[in-house]
Each structure stands twice: as structure tokens, then as C-alpha cells.
């Protein structure tokens, strides 16, 4: 039987002996662990992991490249000649790489060669994967093929992140530690992901098929998800579980006293088309796991905990974004009921078919006075945490936003005969505007630079649509339609960017002799986190021994709706693959999920009723 090491040994043994305990974590590079040990004592294994990441980050590019190059090729010569380290042999065997068909083996060798020729270092992938139980061969090969197209700088960073993930799993093994609750919650996401509107299982590639996930409001798959969450909540030990009049699944775990206030949490279970498995759902399953642990231990809180799995957030089947959370704040718009989906089915009909009682919708509005507030756990859906190798982030504000659609009108004319100084080109005007948006947002971010002098990502602006209707290759564009999406951490900053952009549009059109129209289609106020709830998240993250990183949310979330009536604060969980979201590549590890569960539990135990 393997002898496990303990955190106490790492913290207390002489430096050389402690280093020896950590040998093999970084492939042929024990110096990383040795340097990290200067930061002893560690409050947790997560703190040790972070110290190693830091030591490695500070080592510089040459040392990092050397470490990358110390790794064996995937299913390469070292594996065949059995000269891999014990750790690598274990990992490559678990992934089934020692058991390739001759065709697979030849394909991997070809990938190794192309990869090495492009990047000059071997491909590194944590083949034990986000759950630590091993990726399958198809998954490994498709990841290899995909990453071959990355930019070299990005790919080096991706290799380094994979090295840290390999080390995380190796350290878990050494400590004899498993993120048990994280694994379970990870598995719950897999289980729920079996229900999808499209993406029928392909028997030849079951894994690939499972990756495609679309769950839109009140479809068959959506109803199955609701039912599954309902059963899950009952199994976790919630005292009350119900599906409400708009399809939200609501579970209540009662307080230890009557007439107690309620803390609300939750997120959405619908998805975008071909989305990820964790967007929304993580914020449902993390508190469900906490309730199950509380119920198992027979513990009650001094407040009721209400977990809501929101039926609709993404606005996919109907243009009714935040329908689920909107209904709780009295913002269910009755005109939504007459909207039709792509097949002509009205929302009213879809709700009737799902046996939802429309008359009960107004009753869903919560009395904010009965609530302590709303907290939400969500996968980050952005690259910040992944890039900094930090597992959790405390959200300071959900960005305010404003959207416009517009059109610039000029004069269509002959591309060959109209001199350059006599053109009324609508498309170049919009191009100029798009460049201005980019420049102005960067300037505003530089002004609000953080203490370290790094420009903050306080505002962002995007011209996402730019169309020349009926354009031709030989015609100067006479019309150009475009969209504007401007977001910022505060309403004041958003408005400042907006005014500058609108003024610039006017100036560009005057200068070029053009007209324009501009229609505001959406405006949402920024939702700054409640100071007290945010502080609870900070303490929770700190208690885990990992750094407390503050960041704004660039995306909208259900918390934004609840913000209209009660205080709120969010916790972000690092996403893998540069934090990609609204994409099947969205991913997070069971280790990070475990940290989110631990943080949530800490918040529950430190919240005053």
C-alpha cells in the first residue's frame, strides 16, 4: 500500500526532506516545489498548489520552456521504450494510450511531429482530465488536433496550465486526497447533460455526441432537466421542493427557528444552443451539495436556504431573457406569452403543454423584506481566473450595458468611376466607428488602471454586426447596418463611453457627409455587489488558503435581476480552456468545484440571520 504524505509533514519537516516528499510533482523539476516551500506553512493543499504556481510563474520563460521540454511526448518513443517516469506511465496508461491501435498510434506520432515543428516543444495535456479519472483516447486526440491551431504564445500558456493541473492531481495522489464532493457535483453535471434538444447520441462517437448540449425553455429535454433537478433536491434532503408556474425548480431547506429570514441562491438550467454543461448549473448543484451535507449531519442554519434552479436565462427559444429570475421580482412580461418560437408555438401554448399554471405567475413575486439577499455561484465564462491560475474569484459588480442597432446612409456609386474624394461610403464610416470604440474603451480602461498600473477591464465595447445590405464587389457601400454593445462596471462609465461613441458617430457622419439612425434596444444598469455579502465571499475564499481575486462580471446573470429587489453578490469559478463558455469546450475541474462547495459552506456558516 502507498504511504501517503501529510500537509503537516510538508509544513514541518526540514526543507530538504519536505522537498523530497514532493519529488516528481513537476516532471524532472523538483526545484519548483523546493522554491514554493519557502512560503511555508501552507493553510491547505490549495495554498501549496498556488505557491508552486507562483514559484513557476516567477521563474521566467526559459525555465518554463525547459520544464515543458522535460515532458515526454504523448504516446511517444519514451512510452514505447518504457523509459517514462512512474507518474507519466500511470497517466498515459490510464488514458488508454499504452493500448492504441496501430492507426491511432501512427496518427498521434504524426500529430507529435507537426506540433513539435510548429511550437518547438512537446504537447502537454493533463490526460487525467478535469475530474482526474482520465480522458478517453478520442477526447485526447481531438484536443491535440484542436490545439495544433493555437497561437504559439497561447499554446505555451496552455501547456503550463496543463502542467499545473497534472501537478494538482499528482499532489492529490501523494496526499491520498480526493475532492469527493467536487467529483459528485461534476458527475451531476454529466448526468444532467444527457438531456438535450438536439445532438442525438451517435453510437460511433458517444462522447462527441454528449458534448452537444442545447436545452431551451420548456422543450422535452428542458422538462426532463427540471424533473431531474427536482428529484435531486428531494434526495439531498430539502424540506420543500416544487416546480413553480414558470418552470423554476425551487427547493427550501428550513431554518432552525420559525419565522426566520431566507437566503436565496441558484442559477439557470437552460443553455444556449450548443452550449456548455456548467453555465448556470454549477450555481444550482453547489448549494444542493451543501444542503445534502447539512441534512446528513442533521445541521440547520439560522435562516431558510432557498435554492432556485431558474428555468430560463438565455433567451433562446423566446426573446424573454431572465424569464425565470424576472418572475421572482415581478418582471414577467405578459406580452411574452404571445411570442412564437421558430415552429410557431406560442409561449402560452408551451406553458400550457407543460402543465404550468399561468394564473399563478403573479404569485411568484417575492417579498424582499423576508430575504437576507441573493448569492450566486457561476463559472467565470472568461479568461481571467484561468490565466492567473486562481480557482475562485469574488465578483465586485455585474457590468451595466447598453445596446444599439444603427444604420449609416451614404450613396451607392460605381467603384471604378467614383473618385476617392467624392465618395459617400457608409461602410468605411462604420469601420471608423468600430476602431473608435476599441480606442476609446482602451483609453477609459487605462484611466481606471489598478494599483499595479495594469489597465482594468472596466469597460468593453463591440461592434458585433456590420452589414452592407445588397452589397456588391464593384459598388461603393451606400448603406451599412451595425450594432453596438457597450458595457462597464458602473453606469457612469458606461454612459461616458456611450456619449463619446454617439458623438463620434455624429462627427464621422458630418465629416463624410452621411446620415445615420441609431436605436437603443436594451439598457441594463450595473449591479454592484452588496458589501456585506461580498465580504462573506472574501472570507470564504480566504479560509481556503487561495488568493482573493476581485473581478467584475462582463456577462449578465440571474443575480442582476434579483439585484432589483435585494442585495446580491456572486462567486466565480475558474473555467478551463481559457474560460471559454457558450461553447461545448466549457469545462471546470472537480478540484475547483470542491473549493466552490467549501466556500459556499463557509459562507452559510458565517452568515447572520
Residues that bind Zn ion (CB under 5 A): 279-280
How many CB atoms are closer than 10 A to CB 276?
A: 27
How many CB atoms are closer than 10 A to CB 60?
A: 10
Q: Which residue number, 173 or 279, has a Cβ lying nearer to Zn ion? A: 279
Q: Which residue number, 230 or 312, has a Cβ lying nearer to Zn ion? A: 312
DSSP H helical ranges for 484-589: 491-512, 531-543, 558-562
CB 252 within 8 A of CB 238: yes
Q: Which residue number, 280 or 575, has a Cβ lying nearer to Zn ion? A: 280
Per the DSSP assignment, residues forming a β-bridge with 459 are 488
> CB 382 → Zn ion: shortest distance, Å?
12
> CB 282 → Zn ion: shortest distance, Å?
9
> CB 582 → Zn ion: shortest distance, Å?
9
Backbone angles phi, psi at 487, to 5 degrees: -140, 150
**Which residues in 99-133 are b (16+ Cβ under 10 Å) and which e?**
ebeeebbebbbebbeebeeebebbbbbbbbbbbbe
CB 498 within 8 A of CB 441: no
User: If you search the block for the grid coordinates 488514458, which residue do you land on?
Assistant: 95
How many CB atoms are closer than 10 A to CB 231?
A: 12
User: If you search the block for the grid coordinates 463620434, which residue do you land on?
Assistant: 504
CB 588 within 8 A of CB 179: no
Q: Which residue number, 92 or 397, has a Cβ lying nearer to Zn ion? A: 397
> CB 236 → Zn ion: shortest distance, Å?
22
C-alpha cell read off for 465: 454586426
Per the DSSP assignment, residues forming a β-bridge with 488 are 400, 459
Q: Which residue number, 49 or 563, has a Cβ lying nearer to Zn ion? A: 563
CB 339 within 8 A of CB 320: yes
As a whole number of angstroms, the distance between CA 183 and CA 592 comes to 10
Q: Which residue number, 382 or 478, has a Cβ lying nearer to Zn ion? A: 382
As a whole number of angstroms, the distance between CA 81 and CA 320 comes to 59
DSSP H helical ranges for 250-392: 282-296, 323-328, 347-353, 384-388
Q: Which residue number, 91 or 279, has a Cβ lying nearer to Zn ion? A: 279
> CB 204 → Zn ion: shortest distance, Å?
32
> CB 267 → Zn ion: shortest distance, Å?
6
CB 403 within 8 A of CB 520: yes
Q: Which residue number, 251 or 280, has a Cβ lying nearer to Zn ion? A: 280
> CB 556 → Zn ion: shortest distance, Å?
8
Q: Which residue number, 166 or 226, has a Cβ lying nearer to Zn ion? A: 226
CB 143 within 8 A of CB 130: no
In 3D, which of 227, 90, 236, 104 has the Cα closest to residue 170?
Answer: 90
> CB 266 → Zn ion: shortest distance, Å?
11
Q: Which residue number, 294 or 320, has a Cβ lying nearer to Zn ion? A: 320
> CB 97 → Zn ion: shortest distance, Å?
35
As a whole number of angstroms, the distance between CA 607 and CA 609 comes to 7
> CB 215 → Zn ion: shortest distance, Å?
12
CB 239 within 8 A of CB 254: yes
What's the chain's length in residues?
A: 609
> CB 291 → Zn ion: shortest distance, Å?
21
Q: Which residue number, 212 or 279, has a Cβ lying nearer to Zn ion? A: 279
As a whole number of angstroms, the distance between CA 37 and CA 35 comes to 5
Q: Which residue number, 479 or 557, has a Cβ lying nearer to Zn ion? A: 557
- What are the angstrom distances between the C-alpha of 455 and each of 392, 401, 443, 451, 452? 21, 20, 9, 9, 9
> CB 193 → Zn ion: shortest distance, Å?
15
Q: Which residue number, 230 or 279, has a Cβ lying nearer to Zn ion? A: 279
As a whole number of angstroms, the distance between CA 106 and CA 113 comes to 11
> CB 488 → Zn ion: shortest distance, Å?
20
As a whole number of angstroms, the distance between CA 554 and CA 93 comes to 41
Cβ-proximal residues to 434 (8 Å cutoff; 6+ apart), any chain: 463, 466, 482
Amino acid at each position: 500500500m502507498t504511504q501517503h504524505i501529510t500537509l503537516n509533514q510538508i509544513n514541518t519537516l526540514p526543507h530538504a526532506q519536505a522537498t523530497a516528499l514532493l519529488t516528481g510533482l513537476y516532471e524532472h523539476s523538483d526545484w519548483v516545489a523546493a522554491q514554493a516551500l519557502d512560503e511555508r506553512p501552507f493553510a491547505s493543499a490549495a495554498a501549496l498548489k498556488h505557491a508552486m504556481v507562483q514559484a513557476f510563474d516567477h521563474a521566467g520563460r526559459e525555465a518554463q520552456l525547459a520544464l515543458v521540454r522535460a515532458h515526454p511526448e504523448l504516446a511517444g518513443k519514451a512510452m514505447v521504450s518504457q523509459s517514462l517516469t512512474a507518474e507519466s506511465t500511470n497517466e498515459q496508461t490510464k488514458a488508454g494510450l499504452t493500448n492504441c491501435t496501430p492507426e491511432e498510434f501512427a496518427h498521434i506520432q504524426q500529430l507529435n511531429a507537426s506540433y513539435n515543428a510548429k511550437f518547438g516543444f512537446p504537447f502537454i495535456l493533463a490526460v487525467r482530465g478535469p475530474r482526474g479519472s482520465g480522458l478517453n483516447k478520442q477526447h485526447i486526440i481531438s484536443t491535440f488536433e484542436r490545439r495544433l491551431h493555437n497561437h504559439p504564445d497561447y499554446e505555451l500558456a496552455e501547456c503550463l496550465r496543463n502542467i499545473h493541473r497534472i501537478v494538482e492531481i499528482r499532489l492529490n495522489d501523494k496526499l491520498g486526497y480526493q475532492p469527493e464532493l467536487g467529483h459528485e457535483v461534476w458527475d451531476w453535471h454529466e448526468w444532467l447533460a444527457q438531456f438535450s434538444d438536439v445532438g442525438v447520441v451517435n453510437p460511433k462517437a458517444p462522447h462527441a455526441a454528449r458534448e452537444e448540449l442545447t436545452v431551451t425553455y420548456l422543450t422535452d429535454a428542458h422538462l426532463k432537466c427540471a424533473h431531474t433537478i427536482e428529484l435531486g433536491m428531494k434526495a439531498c434532503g430539502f424540506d420543500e421542493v416544487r416546480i413553480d408556474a414558470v418552470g423554476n425548480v425551487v427547493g427550501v431547506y428550513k431554518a432552525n427557528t420559525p419565522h426566520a429570514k431566507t437566503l436565496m441562491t441558484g442559477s439557470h438550467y437552460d443553455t444556449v444552443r450548443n452550449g456548455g454543461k456548467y453555465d448556470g448549473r454549477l450555481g444550482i448543484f453547489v448549494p444542493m451539495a451543501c444542503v445534502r451535507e447539512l441534512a446528513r449531519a442533521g445541521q440547520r442554519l439560522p435562516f431558510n436556504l432557498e435554492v432556485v434552479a431558474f428555468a430560463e436565462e438565455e433567451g433562446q427559444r423566446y426573446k424573454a431573457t431572465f424569464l425565470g429570475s424576472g418572475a421572482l421580482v415581478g418582471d414577467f412580461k405578459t406580452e411574452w406569452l404571445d411570442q412564437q418560437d421558430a415552429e410557431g408555438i406560442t409561449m402560452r401554448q408551451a406553458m400550457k403543454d407543460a402543465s404550468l399554471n399561468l394564473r399563478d405567475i403573479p404569485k411568484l413575486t417575492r417579498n424582499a423584506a423576508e430575504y437576507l439577499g441573493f448569492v450566486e455561484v457561476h463559472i467565470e465564462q472568461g479568461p481571467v481566473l484561468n490565466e492567473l491560475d486562481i480557482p475562485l474569484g469574488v465578483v465586485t459588480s455585474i457590468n451595466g450595458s447598453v445596446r444599439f442597432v444603427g444604420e449609416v446612409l451614404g450613396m451607392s456609386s460605381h467603384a471604378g468611376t467614383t473618385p476617392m474624394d467624392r465618395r459617400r461610403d457608409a461602410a468605411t464610416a462604420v469601420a471608423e466607428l468600430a476602431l473608435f470604440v476599441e480606442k476609446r474603451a482602451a483609453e477609459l480602461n487605462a484611466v481606471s488602471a489598478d494599483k499595479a498600473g495594469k489597465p482594468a477591464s472596466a469597460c468593453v465595447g463591440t461592434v458585433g454586426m456590420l452589414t452592407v445590405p445588397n452589397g456588391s464587389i464593384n459598388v461603393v457601400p451606400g448603406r451599412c447596418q451595425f450594432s453596438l454593445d457597450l458595457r462597464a462596471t458602473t453606469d457612469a462609465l458606461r454612459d461616458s463611453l456611450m456619449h463619446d461613441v454617439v458623438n463620434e458617430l455624429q462627427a464621422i457622419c458630418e465629416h463624410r457627409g452621411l446620415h445615420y439612425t441609431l436605436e437603443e434596444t436594451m439598457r441594463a444598469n450595473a449591479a454592484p455587489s452588496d458589501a456585506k455579502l461580498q465580504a462573506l465571499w472574501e472570507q470564504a475564499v480566504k479560509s481556503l488558503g487561495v488568493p482573493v481575486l476581485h473581478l467584475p462580471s462582463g456577462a449578465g446573470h440571474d443575480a442582476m435581476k434579483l439585484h432589483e429587489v435585494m442585495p446580491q453578490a456572486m462567486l466565480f469559478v475558474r473555467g478551463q480552456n481559457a474560460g471559454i463558455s457558450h461553447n461545448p469546450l466549457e469545462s471546470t475541474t472537480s478540484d475547483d468545484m470542491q473549493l466552490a462547495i467549501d466556500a459556499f459552506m463557509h459562507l452559510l456558516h458565517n452568515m447572520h440571520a
